[in-house]
């Protein structure tokens, strides 16, 4: 009860689900980077994941629950914070907080929209959204072709770049935030986790945009 | 110095309120901000106008009564300074100064710059008591408390309860105040007995009294006139988790 209703309790849920989500984007990036090794690498990686059978669905369920809790409580806490804050003063000068911290709800909702788009594009594989070439031997689409062909569209590249920019904004505040919320911060560690947080966000940004940009500039091709 | 003041005028919690421009034609750089307002009020009174209502008490930076957002920052933005200790030499001749009240739903405006900060007292009340032995007065050295622990507790206890943390917070959260109050007792043997109950009750009281949730902006520490550290919010979270599993 207290965990799901109190101010601190819900923040703990935000932090724990945040760890799951940021952990996932890190592992996902490592997996995706096999695009740089070649078609066989990424296809073998995809095949390996699919061969896990029921574990894939257990994993998807855990991710779905973490994602849903993070979104629901994030929206709920933000609405409460808005309700606690009347019309702002005519002059407002912020001393410490930053753009990323002040736009968490915006970057969060953009990420939600992005994840839905990304899942439809590369996981559900909605006909017409991309090139889904079946490999008869494995009974799976050719992931390498799907990704390279997918980023031939300028609009798709822009959507992915924008999505990753919002991921950077969200993580650059969220990562250090989870240490503070879980009671792991003090005056010595906070400036360090603050910098690490921005670094993690930036590495994720660079890592993820490297794939579509490499395709655009022809470093990865069919 | 000649200054142009834009002062928030509001007759009560339900009044709309608006900024009023008032000239301060002869301000001495040696005056404190409150003394400058005293002069302005003197003139307004002589002209038969409504004086600017503002909170003040000790005027030596320790009581936490003065509460004005000056040019967008609670207490005016000079490091570790309350409004009463802010001096007019910080401003230049011809400056325009915006003076507004603490803004938070939990702090309804009583008049002009005076707000009702009872919400903070309600949080403190919810914290309850600390157990102590009755009988003869205990010997001063009978309860050993290490210097680092005493220092930590005293750092938290520096909070003067002015509410600048709430006023500066984009979420109107009172978590720095609550964290400081929880932490100052949680590390001491006297406060440990009720620590779990206290952190739960005070966190709940903050929510019940209309304060927002902390989302780690750290604006509170930056505008705190006593420099109370956000590590005490982390301490509160730690105490809260300990209490959850108890």
- Percentage of residues of chain A with pLDDT beyond 70: 100
- How many structural domains is chain B composed of? 2
The pLDDT value given to residue B136: 86
User: Using 50, 70 and 90 to split pLDDT, how confident is the model at A137?
Assistant: confident
Same domain, B172 and B103: no
Report field, pTM of the whole predicted structure over 0.90: yes
Can you tell me the distance from the alpha carbon of A178 to that of A180, in angstroms, rounded to the nearest whole number? Answer: 5
Q: Please give the structure tokens belonging to residue A192.
A: 């360090």
Quote the pLDDT of residue B141: 82
Range(s) of the domain holding residue A109:
2-86+98-216
CB-CB under 8 Å, A83 with B213: no
CA dist B229 and B26 (Å) reads 38
Residue B17 scores a pLDDT above 80: yes
Residues of B in contact with A102 (CB under 8 A): 170, 217
**What confidence tens digit (pLDDT) does each residue in B63-111 have?**
999 999 999 999 999 999 999 999 999 999 999 999 999 999 999 999 9
Residue B244 to residue A9: CA distance in whole angstroms: 9
What sections of chain A are H helices per DSSP?
A: 2-5, 7-32, 39-50, 54-84, 99-102, 104-118, 143-150, 154-181, 189-216
Answer yes or no: is A134 within a domain.
Answer: yes
- Neighbouring CB atoms inside 10 A of A162's CB total 12
Complex-level ipTM? 0.95
Tell me the pLDDT of chain A averaged across its residues. Answer: 96
Q: Where residue B59 sits, what CATH number does that domain have?
A: 3.10.20.30
Task: Provide the token pair at A136.
Answer: 């008869």
In a domain, B138, yes or no: no
> Is the Cβ–Cβ distance between B6 and B20 less than 8 Å?
yes
The burial of B6, by beta-carbon neighbours within 10 Å (0-12 exposed, 13-18 middle, 19 or more buried), is given as middle
Q: What is the pLDDT of residues A75-105, one digit of tens each?
A: 999 999 999 999 999 999 999 999 999 999 9
To the nearest whole Å, the CA of B204 is away from the closest chain A CA by: 7
Provide the pLDDT for residue A76. 98
d(CA B70, CA B140): 44
Please indicate, yes or no, whether residues B161 and B205 belong to a single structural domain of this protein.
Answer: yes
Q: Are residues B33 and B124 in the same domain?
A: no
pLDDT category of residue B134 using cuts at 50, 70 and 90? confident
pLDDT score for A139: 85
- From A101's Cα to the closest Cα of chain B, the distance in A is 6
Higher pLDDT, A4 or A53: A4
Residue B137 lies in a domain: no
The pLDDT confidence band at residue A125, using thresholds 50, 70 and 90, is: very high
Question: Do residues B126 and B35 share a domain?
Answer: no
Q: Is residue A91 part of a domain?
A: no
Classify each residue of A93-117 as buried b or exposed e, where b means 16 or more C-beta atoms within 10 Å of its C-beta: bbbebeebbbebbebbebbeebbee
Q: Which of A127-131, B33-37, B136-140 has the highest mean pLDDT?
A: B33-37
Are B25 and B85 part of one and the same domain?
yes
CATH for B208: 1.10.1060.10
With CB atoms and an 8 Å threshold, state whether B241 touches A182. yes
Q: Do B215 and A104 lie within an 8 Å CB cutoff? A: yes
Domain match, B95 and B128 both: no
Q: Is B24 on the interface with A (CB under 8 A)?
A: no
In a domain? residue B92: yes
Question: For the residues of B128-196, what is the DSSP string, one character each?
Answer: -------SSPPPTTSS---HHHHHHHHHHHT-----HHHHH-TT-B-HHHHHHHHHHHHTSHHHHTTHH
CB B113 within 8 A of CB B20: no
Statement to judge: residues B71 and B127 lie in one domain: no
CATH number, domain at A162?
1.20.1300
| Domain housing B183 | 117-132+143-244
Q: Does A8 touch chain B (CB under 8 A)?
A: yes
Q: Answer yes or no: is pLDDT of B114 > 80.
A: yes
Domain count, chain A: 1
Mutate to test the interface with B, among A12, A18, A91 (most CBs of B within 10 A): A91
Query: Tokens in use for B24?
Result: 């301060």
Beta carbons of B212 and A84 less than 8 Å apart: yes
Q: Considering only the beta carbons, identify the residue of B69, B212, B238 that sits closest to A89.
A: B69
Cross-strand bridge partners of residue B9: B18
The reply to whether B100 and B124 lie within a common domain is no
Model confidence over B166-195: pLDDT tens digits?
999 999 999 999 999 999 999 999 999 999
């Amino acid at each position: 009860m207290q965990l799901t209703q109190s101010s601190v309790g819900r923040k703990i849920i935000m932090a724990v689900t945040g760890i799951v989500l940021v952990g996932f984007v890190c592992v996902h990036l490592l997996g995706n980077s096999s695009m740089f090794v070649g078609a066989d690498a990424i296809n073998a990686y995809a095949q390996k994941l699919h061969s896990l059978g029921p574990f894939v669905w257990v994993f998807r369920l855990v991710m779905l629950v973490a994602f849903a809790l993070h979104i629901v409580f994030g929206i709920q806490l933000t609405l409460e914070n808005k309700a606690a804050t009347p019309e702002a003063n005519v002059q407002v000068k912020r001393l410490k907080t930053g753009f990323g911290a002040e736009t968490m709800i915006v970057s969060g909702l953009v990420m939600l929209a992005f994840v839905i788009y990304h899942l439809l594009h590369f996981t559900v594989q909605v006909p017409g959204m991309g090139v889904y070439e079946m490999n008869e031997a494995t009974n799976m689409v050719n992931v390498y072709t799907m990704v390279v062909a997918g980023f031939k569209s300028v609009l798709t590249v822009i959507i992915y770049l924008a999505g990753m920019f919002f991921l950077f904004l969200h993580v650059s505040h969220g990562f250090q935030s989870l240490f503070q919320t879980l009671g792991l911060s003090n005056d010595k560690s906070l400036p360090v986790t603050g910098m690490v947080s921005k670094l993690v966000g930036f590495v994720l940004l660079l890592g993820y945009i490297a794939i579509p940009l490499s395709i655009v500039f022809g470093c990865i091709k069919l | 110095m000649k200054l142009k003041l834009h002062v928030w005028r509001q007759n009560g919690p339900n009044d709309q309120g608006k900024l009023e421009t008032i000239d301060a034609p002869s301000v001495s750089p040696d005056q404190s901000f409150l003394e400058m307002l005293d002069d302005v009020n003197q003139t307004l009174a002589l002209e038969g106008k409504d004086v600017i209502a503002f909170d003040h008490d000790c005027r030596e930076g320790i009581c936490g009564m003065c509460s004005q957002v000056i040019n967008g920052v609670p207490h005016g933005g000079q490091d570790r300074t309350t409004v009463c200790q802010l001096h007019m030499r910080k401003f230049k001749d011809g400056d325009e100064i915006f003076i507004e009240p603490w803004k938070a739903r939990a702090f309804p405006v009583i008049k002009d710059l005076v707000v009702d900060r009872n919400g903070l007292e309600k949080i403190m009340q919810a914290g309850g008591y600390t157990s102590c032995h009755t009988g003869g007065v205990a010997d001063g050295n009978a309860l050993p408390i290490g210097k680092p622990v005493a220092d930590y507790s005293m750092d938290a206890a520096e909070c003067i309860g002015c509410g600048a943390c709430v006023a500066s917070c984009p979420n109107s959260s009172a978590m720095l105040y609550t964290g400081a109050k929880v932490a100052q007792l949680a590390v001491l043997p006297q406060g440990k007995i009720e620590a779990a109950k206290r952190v739960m009750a005070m966190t709940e009281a903050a929510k019940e009294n209309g304060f927002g949730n902390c989302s780690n902006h750290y604006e509170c520490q930056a505008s705190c006139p006593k420099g109370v550290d956000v590590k005490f919010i982390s301490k509160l979270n730690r105490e809260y988790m300990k209490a959850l599993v108890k």
